[in-house]
Amino acid sequence: MRLLFAALALLMVSPVASTAQPAPERPIALALHGGAGTILRQNLTPEREAAVRAALEQALDAGYAVLLRGGTALDAVEATIRVLEESPHFNAGVGAVLTDAGTAELDAAVMDGRTRAAGAVSGITTVRSPIQLARRVMERSPHVMLVGAGAEEFAGQQGLERVTNDFFILPERREQLRRMQENRRTGFNALGVPDPSFVSPERFDAALAASPDLSGGMEHKFGTVGAVALDRDGNLAAGTSTGGMMGKKFGRVGDAPIIGAGTYADNATCAVSATGHGEYFIRAVVAHDIASIIRYTGLSLTQAASAVVHGSLVEMGGGGGVIAVDPQGRVTMPFNTPGMYRAAIDGAGNRTVAIFRD
């Protein structure tokens, strides 16, 4: 017996025994969003809430499965976003919002935190998966960003699936656009807020007086989709895909495809994907600012993301939120709007699927 203990003790201190210990698994993590905005419990029917949650779960599972089987963060981000692009509940791919000309113009970007390679597309009208096209730009072209006709031609050369623009457009989006254009005629801006720049001062005053409901009956929702991931090799990636803002001028480019604004990834700091009023996110260079705060101040991911979303963005008047993950698998998902569709599994395995603030 004593001999046995001695042998066991030896085994425990011998180098052979210690190298035989399985290495602790490195963390993997995934977070996604389906847009932020005035998402209020009272405006969401139980059926719709259940459908949105199911879509978030499905996208989360699709991306996480890639990480679980040892796939790359990039593959996980693309797999997650492709599920969300096909879901009618979000403003990307099918269900995208419309330009003031009544068309769907899609933007997307992806970034590899390992190499800081990036690919982005804007003004896409016939490519079924804009995030897939953004990745092709990154991996199979010498460029970072392609727009409009050139991007569509490149998609053709790459053999990506094409659809008619109607494929993306749902009847309820046409109705939203119609209401927004009506609001604009009577004095409201693209966000449903009374705005004198659209009409004469008299009509603006009349609109203001006539409507205590500043939204003009519209829900302000930024339904962009995005994902960030950490894979087993410690690599980060981020991606974002969107139809932009309802009633935008055709040709408008939002923050989603602007590297550093709506999308950014760097293994040294974090991966970020944003949703919100893109003009503010571009001017605040949101995603890169979060990474820079971490890099230059040593603040944590949560502190840095919160400083931007609840600090500089609010000061500028920009509504929205971000999802972010760091190399340790920590996830943060701050937003300054009433709600944000979001889901995550962090490096410790904690699973979250949420819509509202609470």
Interaction of residue 63 with ligand ASP, rule CB under 6 A: no
Question: DSSP string spanning 41-99?
Answer: GGGS-HHHHHHHHHHHHHHHHHHHHHHHTT--HHHHHHHHHHHHHH-TTSSSSTT---B
Nearest distance from C-beta of residue 29 to ligand ASP, angstroms: 22
Q: Which of 93, 216, 254, 347 binds ligand ASP (CB under 6 A)?
A: 254
Two tokens, residue 334:
């701050």
C-alpha span between 294 and 303 (Å, rounded): 9
Alpha helix ranges (H) inside 89-237: 130-140, 148-157, 171-185, 201-210
**Amino acid sitting at position 154:** F
Site string for ligand ASP, 22-51 (x = CB under 6 A): -------------x----------------
- Here the tokens at position 8 are 């066991």
Residues 67-106 binding ligand ASP (CB under 6 A) are: 91
Site residues (CB under 6 A) for ligand ASP, limited to 176-235: 222-224
Q: Closest separation between CB of residue 80 and ligand ASP, Å?
A: 16
Binding mask 5-24 for ligand ASP (x = CB under 6 A): --------------------
The owner of tokens 């408008």 is 252
Q: Please identify which residue in 71, 119, 278, 318 interacts with ligand ASP, judged by CB under 6 A.
A: 278
DSSP code of residue 100 = T
Q: Using CB under 6 A, pick the residue from 34, 63, 216, 276 that binds ligand ASP.
A: 276
According to DSSP, the residues that pair with 99 across neighbouring strands are 248
Shortest reach from residue 100's CB to ligand ASP, in Å: 14
% helix / strand / coil in the chain, to the nearest 5? 40, 25, 35
Shortest separation between residue 69's beta carbon and ligand ASP, angstroms: 30
Nearer to ligand ASP, 33 or 330 (CB): 33
CB of 332 to ligand ASP, least distance (A): 18
- In this chain, which of 125, 242, 306, 337 binds ligand ASP, going by CB under 6 A? 242
Contact between 260 and ligand ASP by CB under 6 A: the answer reads: no
Residue 244 binding ligand ASP, by CB under 6 A? yes
Smaller CB distance to ligand ASP: residue 228 or 245? 245
Is 224 an annotated catalytic residue? yes
- Dist. CA 30–CA 345, nearest whole Å: 5
| d(C-alpha 215, C-alpha 193), whole Å | 6
The C-alpha atoms of residue 17 and residue 176 are separated, in whole angstroms, by: 66
**Taking contact as CB under 6 A, which single stretch among the options 137-145, 195-203, 209-217, 274-282 is the one that binds ligand ASP?**
274-282
Region class of 320: left (phi > 0), else alpha (psi between -120 and 50), else beta: left
d(CA 15, CA 255): 53
- State the catalytic residue, choosing from 80, 224, 269, 332: 224
Q: Which one of the spans 154-162, 173-181, 269-277, 294-302 is the region binding ligand ASP (CB under 6 A)?
A: 269-277
Site residues (vs ligand ASP, CB under 6 A): 35, 91, 222-224, 242, 244-245, 254-256, 262, 275-278, 281
- Residues noted as catalytic: 224
